[in-house]
């Protein structure tokens, strides 16, 4: 077991990074200073071993197949890493004068225009830091738009029951009342139910298309028409955009607002849970409300930050973008072009359908239609006959070196696994995955107890989540503390 | 480009699926096809793409200049071990650690980050990070509003102006009222003795935007007397190494940006925000939290916890909508803190203070220049300039020097004020070049008038 950094080292270890300037009391009065700084001193080798060991305790795209639904765990090209590390970007201060940052603003300007074209929007803002940040940005835009129009009675946000949890949470943050719409037996949003809920109080309808069941909402034009007729706005959650790039556009479907997750669709590495990048797009009606400043180009071809956006909601983070993430996504786009991006989406859909066709042989696939870039299957039948749950299958996959699919979500399918292979995986990898899953299902019939004990070979096995939750509620066990040598806080 | 499929494999897979073509699988319903040509540049071979983007990087002259520009983003030394280990693929290409058994590396690193933030801030608990310092402030304000049931927040005018702008954006949509607290001639926040009983929180930054160590404890006392919380804001996290901790100063919530801990300037991001608080308010803490537990074999293990607060479980009842955080940036900061350690961090902080004082002495010696704020500072301070600061900055930029931030950009009245910063990377030569340029350009500007 790797000990914590705080249990390693010894006082005085470690390198000399700068010339010593003497104690802090030389510069500030003792009354302003802290008494002690209780951090460990380690040699660089201790740090090297520590983090190398930690890295070996992680699954990642570069080491494992990672079919985590709705997360688009595609390969992250190393070109992205190289170009985002150029000193001309990494050493550039966000408040540098525009004429000293022409390359950076130019890159952002091109990126915005490219995304606008690819998704049929009038304009994009690259400021939001992640998908959920894009959602709250768009909700703030919608709220301002309606307030300016004097339509303060619009206070509801309509969200399908298959929506990402961030959708209702983002809507609630701006005070919208969330109304959930059920799905049909075909796995699509129920248009009749939508029609019944939409009225003069509707502000926004948030949709993911393809939805989180991996199915294209083929009534999208009608839904858009219903919401627009009532004066509401349509919001496109781009979490599943990997299915549609170069094939169809949210703008053409009638969406007014949208966000993208550059860390999903455009191969910015996920980094263990961020940083992401969640650009927000808007059609001509909503574009004036996008965050400002915005990258712009004058008649002479010089790039600058345009602050003169009177209807803008303002800034949503301190500086204009997760710039180094944008550079990665930009690299991805320019090596593909529109044709390459379209091809990637087609192959993502091919891979998902291929797994789906094979998994159907031994697990329930609840919807008959072909899927897009992901699909859900259910272990409900398996659970009834063997007691083995989707969770157990997921944990069994870990033992085989495959990251688990997304589990138990969307809630409309019991015991569900959501599988998204992405386009960068080969037929051989997909075949091996299907056989692994098939073997687990067979084992479930022979030895269900074994599956309940899996995983057996991961760095740790199943963990006690209940205990940690009880302690965490009291603020305990969320940090190392010197009082107890086993690391649990007192 | 990065896809493996051969034509034969595609045929075989389509056959298994029972679809005639890729298009049949992936095309949208009739009527939703893309009808116009896309405005996307044709694909470049990888070598050309590399050269193209390198050209864009070269076009950023400011990245190569000697810099005295801080103002919430700081150029510090990054030990090479930091990116070397942080950018290992196993960290870089993993997802949010939902599967604890397959994510112990990321989970332990976040637990260590949470611990570092607690040790630095003096607070009991820290979350797994938020987007940046500005959004950390927003989350702190939301927490305070939830804890107190009040909707008004007083914020010092010496809190970073861009953090305040972001807060204003959110407040407009969230029914939160912001009132501003004035700053006195010494560069320190003035908190009126009779703070309103309606306040959810008072937010003070220290060192504040003008570089001054602000009066946090008296603000905390006044906040607490009226039932409000004190939010301590940090934009230069390195100062936490030496200054009294937010907790010692009476903070209930400590927020800030840890960009200074090994993260590149990167034209504004990604950086890493932190939110820390007392045990009492742990359930109001937004975003991810990692807790320590054990596995079925009794081995120490880490896991995401208190997910009942989070959006994917509670949906519209969540304490925040945060999903993605800044895990890789938090990892960079954690490795930075591990590599430099207590000893290194203290000496780096010392070098910042020493160089800033050398810089201040050199500037004050120039005719017409002065420092009017009497509050102590860390590595950044405001210089009064004899000619408009923006003009000096423009002139020095032509000499490849970023002179600092003309405060008029955010405080229109302060036309003759320049915010300058020195770090451990500032050399005596930089200071000599800077002061010579300041003095020559001032003379030129005066002569021109």
Domain ranges of chain B: 63-76+341-448, 81-335
| Residue numbers of A between 72 and 101 with CB closer than 8 Å to B | 73-77, 79, 81-83, 85-97, 99-101
Is the confidence at residue B320, as pLDDT, over 80? no
Q: Please indicate whether, in this complex, the C-beta atoms of A423 and B3 are within 8 angstroms of each other.
A: yes
What would the pLDDT profile of A310-320 be if each residue is shown by its tens digit? 999 999 999 99
pLDDT of residue B175: 86
pLDDT tens-digit map of A265-324:
999 999 999 999 999 999 999 999 999 999 999 999 999 999 999 999 999 999 999 999
Pick from B105, B122, B313: CB nearest A57? B105
Question: Does the A340-453 domain belong in CATH 3.90.1150.10?
Answer: yes
Average pLDDT, whole number, for chain A?
Answer: 96
Is the pLDDT reported for residue B280 higher than 80?
Answer: yes
Retrieve residue A448's tokens. 């269900």
| B194 against B31, higher pLDDT | B31
User: Model confidence at B317, in pLDDT bands (50, 70, 90)?
Assistant: low
**pLDDT of res. A2:** 85
Looking at chain A, the domain(s) classified CATH 3.40.640.10 span 79-335
pLDDT in tens, A371-414: 999 999 999 999 999 999 999 999 999 999 999 999 998 989 99
Is the separation of the CB atoms in B181 and B228 below 8 Å? no
Residues 142-181 of B with CB under 8 A from A: 160, 162-163, 165-166, 168-170, 172-175
Q: What is the pLDDT of residue B311?
A: 67
Q: What CATH number does the domain located at B63-76+341-448 have?
A: 3.90.1150.10
Q: Chain B residue with minimal CA distance to A167?
A: B315
- B139 three-state secondary structure: helix
Does domain A79-335 bear CATH number 3.40.640.10?
Answer: yes
CB B286 within 8 A of CB B128: no
pTM of the model: 0.98
* Res. B193 pLDDT band, cuts 50 70 90: confident
Specify the pLDDT at position B306: 86
Q: How confident is the model at residue A485 (pLDDT cuts 50, 70, 90)?
A: very low
B312 versus A73: the higher-pLDDT residue is A73
Read off φ and ψ for residue A9, nearest 5 degrees. Answer: 80, -175
Chain B residues 418-447 within an 8 A CB cutoff of chain A: 424
Please give the residue that has the higher pLDDT: either A482 or A337: A337
A224 half-sphere exposure, CB direction, 13 A CA radius: 19
pLDDT in tens, A218-275: 999 999 999 999 999 999 999 999 999 999 999 999 999 999 999 999 999 999 999 9
Which residues from chain B sit within 8 angstroms of residue A394, using beta carbons?
99
- Rounded average pLDDT over A407-432: 96
CB-CB under 8 Å, A324 with B269: yes
- The ipTM is 0.97
Residues of chain B with Cβ-Cβ distance to A486 below 8 Å are 300
| Fold classified for B81-335 | 3.40.640
Closest-CA distance, A368 to chain B, in angstroms, reads 12
Q: What is the pLDDT of residues B67-99, one digit of tens each?
A: 999 999 999 999 999 999 999 999 999 999 999
Strand ranges (E), A261-354: 280-282, 294-297, 303-306
| CA-closest candidate to residue A313, choices A133, A144, A149, A150 | A144
Count of CB atoms situated within 10 Å of the CB of A432? 15
Query: Quick check: B63 and A469 CB within 8 A?
Result: no
Matching residue, tokens 């030394």: B77
Q: What pLDDT shows up at residue B281?
A: 96
Nearest Cβ partner of A62 from B89, B349, B378?
B89
Average pLDDT over every residue of A355-365: 98
What pLDDT, on a 0 to 100 scale, did the predictor assign at position A484? 54
Please indicate whether, in this complex, the C-beta atoms of B92 and A71 are within 8 angstroms of each other.
no
Tens-place pLDDT, residues B338-347 = 999 999 999 9
CA dihedral (B332, B335, B336, B340) in degrees, to 10, reads 180
Query: What is the crossing angle of helices A166-173 and A131-148, to 10°?
Result: 40
Assign B1 a pLDDT band (cuts: 50, 70, 90): confident
| A235-294 residues touching B, CB cutoff 8 A | 243-244, 246-249, 252-253, 263, 269-276, 291
For every residue of B14-72, DSSP letters joined together read HHHHT-S-HHHHHPPSTT-S--S----PPP--HHHHHHHHHHHHHT-GGGGSEE---TT
Tell me whether residues A477 and B67 touch, CB distance under 8 A.
no
Query: Is-contact A456 A399, C-beta < 8 A?
Result: yes
Most B CBs within 10 Å, among A275, A301, A332, to test the B interface: A275
Answer yes or no: is pLDDT of A490 > 70: no
Identify which of A436, A428, A469, A431 has the alpha carbon closest to the alpha carbon of residue A454. Answer: A436
CA distance A381 to chain B (A): 23
Residue A4 has a CB neighbour count (10 Å cut-off) of 18
Facing residue for A248 by CB, picked from B34, B58, B174: B34
| CA angle B79–B80–B84, rounded 5-degree value | 130
Residue predicted with more confidence, B307 or B390: B390
Please list the residue range(s) of chain A that carry CATH number 3.90.1150.10.
340-453
């Amino acid at each position: 077991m790797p000990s914590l950094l705080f249990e390693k080292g010894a006082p005085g270890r470690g390198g000399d990074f700068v010339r010593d300037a003497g104690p802090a009391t030389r510069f500030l009065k003792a009354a302003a200073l802290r008494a002690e700084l209780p951090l460990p001193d380690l040699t660089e080798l201790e740090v090297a071993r520590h983090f190398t060991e930690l890295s070996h305790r992680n699954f990642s795209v570069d080491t494992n197949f990672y079919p985590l639904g709705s997360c688009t765990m595609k390969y992250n090209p190393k070109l992205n890493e190289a170009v985002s590390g150029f000193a001309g970007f990494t050493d550039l201060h966000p408040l540098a004068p525009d004429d000293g940052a022409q390359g950076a603003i130019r890159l952002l300007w091109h990126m915005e225009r490219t995304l606008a074209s690819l998704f049929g929007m009038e304009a994009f803002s690259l400021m939001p830091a992640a998908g959920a940040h894009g959602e709250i940005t768009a909700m703030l835009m919608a709220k301002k738009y309606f307030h300016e129009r004097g339509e303060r009675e619009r206070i509801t946000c309509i969200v399908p029951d298959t929506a990402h949890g961030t959708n209702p949470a983002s809507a609630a943050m701006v005070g919208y009342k969330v109304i959930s719409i059920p799905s049909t037996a075909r796995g699509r949003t129920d248009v009749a139910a939508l029609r019944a809920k939409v009225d003069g109080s509707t502000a926004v309808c948030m949709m993911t298309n393809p939805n989180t069941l991996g199915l294209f909402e083929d009534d999208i034009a009608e839904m858009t028409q219903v919401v627009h007729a009532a004066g509401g706005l349509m919001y496109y959650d781009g979490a599943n955009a990997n299915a549609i790039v170069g094939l169809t556009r949210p703008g053409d479907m009638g969406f007014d607002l949208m966000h993208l997750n550059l860390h999903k669709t455009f191969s910015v590495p996920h980094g263990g849970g961020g940083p992401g990048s969640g650009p927000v797009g808007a059609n001509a009606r909503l574009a004036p409300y996008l965050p400002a400043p915005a990258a712009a180009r004058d008649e002479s071809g010089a790039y600058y930050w345009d602050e003169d956006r009177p209807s803008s909601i303002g800034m949503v983070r301190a500086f204009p973008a997760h710039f180094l993430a944008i550079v990665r996504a930009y690299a991805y786009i320019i090596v593909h072009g529109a044709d390459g991006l379209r091809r990637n989406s087609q192959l993502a859909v091919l891979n998902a359908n291929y797994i789906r066709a094979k998994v159907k042989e031994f697990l329930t696939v609840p919807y008959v239609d072909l899927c897009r870039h992901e699909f859900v299957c259910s272990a409900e039948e398996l659970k009834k006959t063997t007691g083995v749950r989707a969770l157990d299958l997921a944990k069994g996959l870990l033992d085989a070196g495959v990251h688990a699919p997304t589990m138990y979500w969307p809630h409309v399918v019991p015991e569900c696994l959501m599988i998204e292979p992405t386009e960068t995986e080969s037929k051989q990898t997909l075949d091996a995955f299907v056989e692994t899953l098939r073997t687990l299902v067979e084992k479930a019939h022979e030895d269900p107890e074994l599956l309940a004990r899996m995983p057996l070979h991961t760095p740790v096995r199943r963990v006690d989540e209940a205990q940690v939750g009880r302690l965490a509620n009291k603020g305990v066990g969320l940090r190392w503390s010197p009082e107890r040598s086993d690391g649990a806080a007192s | 480009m990065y896809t493996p499929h051969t034509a034969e494999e595609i045929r075989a897979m389509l056959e298994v699926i029972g679809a005639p073509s890729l298009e049949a699988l992936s095309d949208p319903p009739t009527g939703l096809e893309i009808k116009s040509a896309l405005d996307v540049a044709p694909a470049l071979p990888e070598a050309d793409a590399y050269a193209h983007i390198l050209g864009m990087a070269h076009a950023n002259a400011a990245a190569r200049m000697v810099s005295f520009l801080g103002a919430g983003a700081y150029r510090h030394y990054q030990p090479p071990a930091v990116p070397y280990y942080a950018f290992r693929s196993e960290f870089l290409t993993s997802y949010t650690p939902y599967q604890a058994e397959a994510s112990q590396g990321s989970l332990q690193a976040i637990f260590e980050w949470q611990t570092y933030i607690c040790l630095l801030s003096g607070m009991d608990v820290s979350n797994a990070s938020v987007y940046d310092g500005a959004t950390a402030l927003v989350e702190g304000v939301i927490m305070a509003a939830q804890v107190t049931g009040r909707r008004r927040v007083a914020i010092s005018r010496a809190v970073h102006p861009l953090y305040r702008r972001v807060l204003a954006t959110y407040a407009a949509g969230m029914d939160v009222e912001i009132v501003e607290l004035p700053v006195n001639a010494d560069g320190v926040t003035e908190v009126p003795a009779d703070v309103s009983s309606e306040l959810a929180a008072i937010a003070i930054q220290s060192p504040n935007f003008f570089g001054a160590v602000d009066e946090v404890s008296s603000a905390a006392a006044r906040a607490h007397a009226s039932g409000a919380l004190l939010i301590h804001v940090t934009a230069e996290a390195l100062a936490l190494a030496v200054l009294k901790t937010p907790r010692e100063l009476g903070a209930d919530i400590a927020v800030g940006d840890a960009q200074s801990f090994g993260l590149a300037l990167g034209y504004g991001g990604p950086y890493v925000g932190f939110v820390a608080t007392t045990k009492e308010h742990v359930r109001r803490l937004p975003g991810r939290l990692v807790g320590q537990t054990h596995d079925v074999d009794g081995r120490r293990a880490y896991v995401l916890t208190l997910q009942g607060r989070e959006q994917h479980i509670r949906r519209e009842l969540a304490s925040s909508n945060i999903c993605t955080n800044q895990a890789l940036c938090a990892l960079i900061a954690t490795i930075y803190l591990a590599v430099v350690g207590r000893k290194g961090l203290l000496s780096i902080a010392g070098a910042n203070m020493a160089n800033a004082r050398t810089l201040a002495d050199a500037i004050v010696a120039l005719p017409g220049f002065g420092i009017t704020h009497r509050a102590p500072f860390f590595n950044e301070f405001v210089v009064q300039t004899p000619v408009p600061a923006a003009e000096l900055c423009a002139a020095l930029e032509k000499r490849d020097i970023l002179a600092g931030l003309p405060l008029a950009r955010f405080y229109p009245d302060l036309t003759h004020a320049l915010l300058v910063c020195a770090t451990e990377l500032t050399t005596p030569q930089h200071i000599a070049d800077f002061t010579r340029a300041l003095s020559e350009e001032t003379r030129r500007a005066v002569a021109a008038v």
